Amino acid sequence: MSAAQVTHHTNFKHGEGHSNKSVEYRTWSGMKERCYSERNHNFPRYGGRGIGVCERWRYDYLAFLTDMGRRPENQTLDRIDNDGDYSPSNCRWASRRAQQANRRNTVFVEFAGERILATRLAEEVGVERNAIYLYLKVKAYLENHYGN
C-alpha cells in the first residue's frame, strides 16, 4: 500500500483528516510533528529532548481519539510528566491554568505548610510575581553562602 493509499484509507476510516481536520486530529498531528519533525520549531523542546509518542498512538489516530476522547472546551493536550512520552497514562486534556502549573520552569514555594505555585502565592498576598522570585533568589543566595 502506498503512502497516498494509507493517507486516503486513514482519512476514510474516521473522516477527520485532510479537509475535515477536527481539533483532536490537529492535536494528534501536532503532537507527532513536535516529536519527530526536526523542521518543527518546537522539536528541540520535544523530540530533541527525547520525547516521543507511544506506539499505540503514533500511527493510529483512532487509538488516540479512543483513549483521550473529544477535547473539552478551553482545554488542550497536556503531558502529566513533562519528561515522559505522549501516552494514555501520561496525557490529559487540561486548562491553560493547569498546564502553566505543570511546566518544567514552574516555581513552587512552601507557604503555611503547603506547596503552592509562586504566582498563586503572589496573587494571594497581593504582591507582584517578581517580588516572590526576587525573595527566592535572595533566600537561595543567603543559604548557599551563609547556611540556614
Write out pLDDT tens, residues 47-105.
999 999 999 999 999 999 999 999 999 999 999 888 899 999 999 999 887 777 666 56
Let me know whether 20 and 71 are in one domain: yes
Residues 29 and 47 in one domain: yes
pTM, rounded to two decimals: 0.62
Out of 100, 116, 138, a domain closes at 100
Q: What length does the chain have? A: 148
Looking at the fold, whether 84 and 13 belong to one and the same domain comes out as: yes
Does one domain contain both 41 and 80?
yes
Give just the sign of the alpha carbon dihedral 115, 119, 122, 123: negative
Number of domains in the chain: 2
Task: State whether residue 127 is helix, strand or coil.
Answer: coil
96 contacts 73 by C-beta, under 8 angstroms: no
Reduce the DSSP state of residue 1 to 3 states and report it: coil
Torsion sign across C-alpha atoms 47, 84, 97, 72: positive
**Which among 83, 100, 117 is the end of a domain?**
100
Q: Which domain holds residue 17?
A: 3-100
